[in-house]
């Protein structure tokens, strides 16, 4: 089983992953933040841009170290370097101005988080699964989480329409309109949750009884998705959209939990 120490390591990597991506966004997105997020450290005057760059450099080094300690050179350290490089390309190459590149940018970071999570679980169960071939559907988790994030990342953009318009950034809600984007997102959300459930069940195998913990996470995922979908349609203001985005983040985190639970259950079921 995954130990408390390994769980802490996974959380540490996730935190530094998010910290670095948000830090680059704040350094190069000051003008938009003055409108959408004036309470952030740079536009509020708490931190200078130079100070933020120093913090970014330090956190980036820690991020690579964490990744190496948890998963070695691959997918650990090299994966972290790839993600940091992509963060730089995203900001300096103006990917954030394109609605499709803006959404795709999130996918490699999600894949790295998932790869680290699964490597911890497989390492913890290595003694039980030594010499056994990999489950055929285990390789589907990476593409699945990338599709999940790419097709739903624009949920964060509903809260930022005013600022994005001011700086010339085109997001999906701006491209097709706020209301149409919300109605497109709702079925996409449920389709992605169903896709993740399909991958999880396929990894478990048709002949294996679904463990109760897997079923509990599936119901939790569905409940959070329903709540997020309801909020998307019923609550439409920047402040409420921020809460809706946090609800979606919970759905995303549950998918990571689900992949871990299914991966662990699949290995236990093969002993």
**Dist. CA 121–CA 50, nearest whole Å:** 39
Give the start-to-end residue ranges of the domains of the chain.
4-268
Q: What are phi and psi of 179, to 5 degrees?
A: -65, -50
Angle made by CA atoms 187, 218, 122, in degrees to the nearest 5: 120
Span 217-241, pLDDT tens digits: 999 999 999 999 999 999 999 999 9
For residue 5, give the 3-state DSSP assignment: helix
Residue found under tokens 């952030």: 40
Which residues have C-beta within 8 Å of that of residue 69, sequence separation ≥ 6?
9, 76
**Dist. CA 263–CA 269, nearest whole Å:** 10
Q: What are phi and psi of 96, to 5 degrees?
A: -65, -10
DSSP state letters, 173-226:
HHHH-HHHHHHHHHHHHHHHHHHHHHHHHHHH-TTSPPPHHHHHHHHHHHHHHH
Q: Is the pLDDT of residue 268 over 70?
A: no
**Cα 72 → chain centroid:** 21
Span 36-91, pLDDT tens digits: 677 777 777 777 888 878 888 888 888 888 878 877 787 778 878 888 888 888 77
**Which is more confidently placed, 43 or 197?**
197
Whether the Cβ atoms of residue 237 and residue 95 lie closer than 8 Å to each other: no
Predicted structure pTM score: 0.78
In the chain, where do the E strands start and end? Answer: none
pLDDT at 3: 42
Structure tokens at 30: 């000051």
**Which is more confidently placed, 133 or 118?**
118
Which has the minimum average pLDDT: 81-90, 125-134, 137-146, 193-202? 125-134
């Amino acid at each position: 089983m995954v130990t408390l120490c390994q769980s802490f390591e996974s959380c540490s990597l996730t935190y530094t992953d998010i910290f670095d991506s948000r830090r680059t966004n704040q350094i190069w997105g000051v003008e938009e933040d003055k409108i959408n997020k004036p309470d952030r450290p740079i536009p509020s005057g708490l931190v200078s841009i130079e100070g933020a760059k120093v913090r970014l450099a330090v956190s980036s080094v820690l991020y690579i170290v964490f990744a190496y300690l948890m998963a070695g050179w691959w997918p650990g350290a090299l994966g972290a370097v790839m993600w940091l490089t992509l963060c730089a390309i995203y900001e300096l190459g103006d990917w954030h101005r394109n609605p499709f590149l803006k959404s795709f940018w999130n996918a490699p970071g999600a894949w790295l988080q998932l790869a680290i999570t699964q490597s911890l679980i497989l390492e913890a169960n290595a003694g039980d699964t030594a010499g056994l071939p990999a489950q055929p559907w285990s390789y589907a988790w990476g593409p699945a989480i990338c599709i999940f994030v790419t097709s739903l990342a624009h949920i964060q953009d509903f809260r930022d329409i005013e600022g994005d318009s001011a700086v010339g950034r085109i997001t999906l809600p701006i491209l097709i309109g706020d209301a149409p984007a919300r109605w497109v997102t709702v079925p996409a959300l449920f389709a992605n949750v169903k896709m993740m459930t399909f991958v999880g069940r396929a990894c478990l195998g048709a002949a294996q009884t679904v463990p109760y913990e897997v079923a509990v996470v599936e119901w939790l995922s569905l409940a959070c998705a329903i709540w997020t979908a309801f909020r998307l349609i019923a609550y439409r203001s920047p402040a409420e959209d921020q809460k809706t985005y946090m609800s979606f983040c919970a759905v995303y985190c549950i998918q990571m939990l689900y992949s871990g639970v299914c991966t662990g259950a699949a290995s236990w079921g093969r002993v």
